[in-house]
Structure 1
Amino acid sequence: MEIIDKKFVSLNNLMTRLRKKKSPPEGLLLLFPHCIQNSKCKQNIKHDINECIRCGKCKVKDLLELSEEYGISIAVASGGRIALKRVMAKEVQGVVAIACEKELRTGLMAAMPKAIYAVPNQRPYGYCVDTDVYMDDVIKAIKFFVKSYEKDSDKPAVKEKVEAGKKPVAKKKTAAKGKVVAGKRPVAKKKPAAKEKVVAGKRPVAKKKPAVKEKVVAKKRPAAKRKPKSLP
């Protein structure tokens, strides 16, 4: 039966994390059993937790300091009905409950659907006598509620609100300059006609070179000079 209780507590914590329930510090309750108090202590913290003198012989001192640090409520679970009444109060938005797995399972089933993060206690001397708890587990549970709330409260408000029951209208995109007809390829733009078109199958006619101003005369042999006739 103890194995079933442990599985139930683990499943509850998993569901609480998936729900991502948030709570402000003033709406979070830290609930612990009276058996955490030292059995030799004469202070009656069941009726008034402030009677604790914080001697440090048990974890009540640490739990009180933790509640003051985070600004959360704290209470002793002196009885099942009283604890359930405190948990189900409207002002309580989240609960960090410390107890043995058996008591946690019973309380979780009775307090559904309240968001409760269960922290099993340690029992070095057996059930209900000088029990203990790992403070790291308690701090982790408190931060789960408080830190999630702080993250959401820091987010800026959304300017555009969506009306209930209506889907937001998507903004129309600006029409593109060149629209493509469905099923057809876009027509390529015509290139400007070339000044000189080449006739298909014919070589382009070469441009005539401008006439040379000075024509070269065909080479001729220079005429031999005639000798003057000698006088008699």
Structure 2
Amino acid sequence: MRFHELLAVVGAIGLMPTGHAIAAKSFTGWDCCKPACAWQTNLRNVQGSPAVCNINNGPLSNSLTAQSGCSGGAAYLCDSYMPVPATETMSYGFAIMNGNGNCCKCFQLTWTSGNAKGKSMVVQAINLFDATGDVKNGDIVILTPGGGSGPNEVGCRSQYGKTWGQSGGGVASAADCANLPQNLQGGCYWRWNWARGAVNTWGIEYTQVACPARLTSISGCSA
């Protein structure tokens, strides 16, 4: 396929890059808490707001005001935010990024190291992190059940009664995914079956792209 033909295909599916490529690292996480982008104070130039769910993964109508399950409230991370493979080399999902200016923006990343080297993924940022430890500003944490609860284990303990694996990195193998609730197992297996490894600290390059409908139809927001 010639370069101009490739650009036509990319533009047609709504993934035309809108900025320069950023070199960073990928990580995984899933703390079950209400996404930080679902607070009005973190929404800038955003249409809609990220969907939020109740303890049974049903939609909450008061998503912007509902208190997080990590703080004794009724709002949790929806299980629909799990990563999903589209082809052997492309996946879709959602992410945690630093800076509230990224809320509801989409990014296409390509792995430059690790077992997924050469594979790509389009993610929409719906949650925020503060850089700490190995996770630096500019890195992308892919929302992945069993990917590690990070600094807050309260959410998954409140929603599911437990956490899985280490707080940083999560479960250690595909076999461990069987310990997750059935509704989360598919997202856990994504890491081991599609990415073929832990994903954490693997090199990536990414650019901002137009958000595809397959992500905005889940999140309910775009930027």
TM range (shorter): under 0.3
Q: Compute the TM-score of the two structures, normalised by the length of structure 1.
A: 0.21
Q: Which has the higher contact order (CA 8 A, sep 6+)?
A: 2
Q: Compute the TM-score of the two structures, normalised by the length of structure 2.
A: 0.21
Highest Rg: 1 or 2?
A: 1
Say which structure is richer in helix: 1
Say which structure is richer in strand: 2
